[in-house]
Amino acid sequence: MENETMNTMPRIGDKAPAFQAVTTQGNISFPEDFAGKWIILFSHPADFTPVCTSEFMTFGKMADEFERLNCQLVGLSIDGLYSHIAWLRTIREKIEYRGMKNIEINFPLIEDVSMNVARTYGMLQPGESQTQAVRAVFFIDPQGVIRTIIYYPLALGRNFDEIKRVLIGLQTADNFGVALPADWRPGDEVIVPTAGSCGVAKERMENRDGEMHCYDWFFCTRPLAKEEVESKLGR
């Protein structure tokens, strides 16, 4: 029972719980310091471990791509600041992995020795580990609302193509007022939602020059060019 009360689980649609923290880039007030940006808040089990190292190198390599998508990366583990600093320096100076080397991590990595943030965000899942955070990924929109949550176990590294695809998908859904089908990627057709907003009804009635395709009354799609998505998302 104690664990249940100590470990909360924020949900999709909730405001991201606010906290203050010490990070490798200085102190932060979360999420207000990143107002107006998308945020990916993610946890890893421990510094100086191999899966986490491969993930950090991949995040570091892709940092520019997330920045172009107006997205701030924020990492966290239940390690102290000096451990974080030493691990990131080791990554930068010593590790060459799959063609990645000299990887500099410029986004904040939170020290959470007290486990306060990890508990608040449901990153501690005692059945998996009592002492290490699982690999959680929270996608938070510029209004500070949690929009997607993905959890991975300790032994499985994250899929960074999927993390980027989720971010682009959320931004596309918001910007174009559409939904996105299974395995959608920019350039694929998008779903014109059925649930009745005026905009949806208007778009369906106009049928945008007949380019809409309906598989049935509840399932209509239309093209959305990759270039249109990319120019709207500022890439």
CB of 55 or CB of 203, closer to ligand BEZ: 55
Q: What angle do CA 63, 10, 50 make, to 5 degrees?
A: 45
Q: Are 177 and 43 in contact (CB under 8 A)?
A: no
CB of 72 or CB of 77, closer to ligand BEZ: 77
- Alpha-carbon distance of 56 to 90, in angstroms, equals 12
What's the distance, CA 121 to chain centroid?
14
- Alpha-carbon distance of 80 to 82, in angstroms, equals 6
Nearest approach in angstroms of CB 79 to ligand BEZ is 11
3-state secondary structure of 54: helix
Nearest approach in angstroms of CB 154 to ligand BEZ is 4
CB of 44 or CB of 222, closer to ligand BEZ: 44
Nearest approach in angstroms of CB 62 to ligand BEZ is 18
> In Å, how far are 45, 105, 129, 204, 208 from 213, measured between CA atoms?
46, 45, 48, 10, 11
For 211, the token pair is: 């380019």
CB of 5 or CB of 130, closer to ligand BEZ: 130
Catalytic residue at 52? Answer: yes
Residues that bind ligand BEZ (CB under 6 A): 45-46, 49-52, 132, 154-155
For 234, the token pair is: 């500022």
Nearest approach in angstroms of CB 176 to ligand BEZ is 37
- Alpha-carbon distance of 213 to 7, in angstroms, equals 46
Residues serving a catalytic function are 52
